[in-house]
Every structure is written in structure tokens, then in C-alpha cells.
């Protein structure tokens, strides 16, 4: 994904371009800095990454610089990568994966009830997030899982 940096925020690296390239690898999510000149596009390491415990199935970036990640554990996470006020913190402290509350678009449905009952017998079964989209006008994150269950979560706080 591609995310625009916010010039009003402080970031934990010295050479940061106007955009960050978000790359999901097997064990982490990395941010790379993009710089553009008249003749080339330069990609630089930032050293910013967060370890993930489950595989990333989808990610979406907002116009306000927020990054949402859908994982194979069925949850959607928001990755925080900017520094609030203390410049002396370590890079790992800038990454605080905050699990977003996952709510259904249509209330309790029979498919969700069946999944909850099935999870009693199969506690490690997960429904991975496969596709995500962000609605800038409503500030909502929409996710579709492998079993075609749709979910929506309000992306409140921290800007658009």
C-alpha cells in the first residue's frame, strides 16, 4: 500500500519522503520511504517495521496516513507509526498495534452464529481477512473474510 505522510507529525527516521510504501512480509510489515526526482523514483529503508503474529491478508491506507491491516487470525489492526511527543523513544515503541473492534454490518446473522458455535469445537479455527476497503466519506473500514462474511468498523480517532 501507499500512504501519504503527515507533515504535522514527527516520525522516527531522518530521511522521510512525502509517501511511504507499506510492504507486508511473512513475519513483519515494513515501511519504506519514497522520494521522487525528475528522472527517478528512489526507495529508502526507514528501519520502521512491526512483527506480525499471523499472516497479513490485506491492508488499506487512508488519505490521512492511517494503516489498517487484516490478518489471518480474522482481526483488523491499525498500525501506529508516528511519534506523539517524545523524540527519545525507540523505534519499536512507535509501533503499537491496536486491535480494532470488529462489528457486523447487519447485526447477528445465522452465519456468524454458526461460526461462534463451531468455534466451541474448533477453538483454533480462524476466518482470515481477505479483502479490505476504506470509505473516506464515512470513515469506515470494510472487511471481507474467507467465508465471505462482511464486517465494518468505525475508524475513529487519529484523523481520517
Over residues 20-42, mean pLDDT: 86
pLDDT above 70 covers what percent of the chain? 62
What is the C-alpha separation between 45 and 43, in angstroms, rounded? 7
Distance CA 95, CA 73 (A): 19
Segment holding 113, helix H or strand E: helix 110-121
Note the pLDDT tens digit of each residue in 83-94: 554 333 233 333
**pLDDT for the residue numbered 83:** 55
How many whole angstroms separate alpha carbon 108 and alpha carbon 75? 17
Amino acid at each position: 500500500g501507499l500512504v501519504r505522510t503527515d507533515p504535522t507529525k514527527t516520525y522516527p527516521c531522518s530521511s522521510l519522503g512525502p509517501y511511504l510504501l507499506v510492504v507486508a512480509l511473512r513475519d513483519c510489515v515494513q515501511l519504506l520511504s519514497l522520494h521522487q526526482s525528475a528522472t527517478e523514483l528512489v526507495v529508502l529503508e526507514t528501519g520502521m517495521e512491526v512483527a506480525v503474529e499471523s499472516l497479513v491478508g490485506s491492508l488499506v491506507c487512508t488519505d490521512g496516513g492511517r494503516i489498517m491491516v487484516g490478518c489471518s487470525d480474522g482481526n483488523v489492526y491499525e498500525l501506529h507509526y508516528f511519534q506523539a511527543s517524545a523524540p527519545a523513544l525507540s523505534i519499536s515503541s512507535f509501533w503499537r498495534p491496536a486491535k480494532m473492534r470488529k462489528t457486523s454490518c447487519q447485526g447477528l446473522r445465522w452465519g456468524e452464529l454458526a461460526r461462534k458455535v463451531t468455534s466451541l469445537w474448533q477453538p483454533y479455527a480462524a476466518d482470515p481477512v481477505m479483502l479490505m476497503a476504506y470509505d473516506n466519506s464515512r470513515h469506515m473500514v470494510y472487511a471481507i473474510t474467507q467465508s465471505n462474511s462482511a464486517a465494518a468498523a468505525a475508524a475513529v480517532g487519529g484523523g481520517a
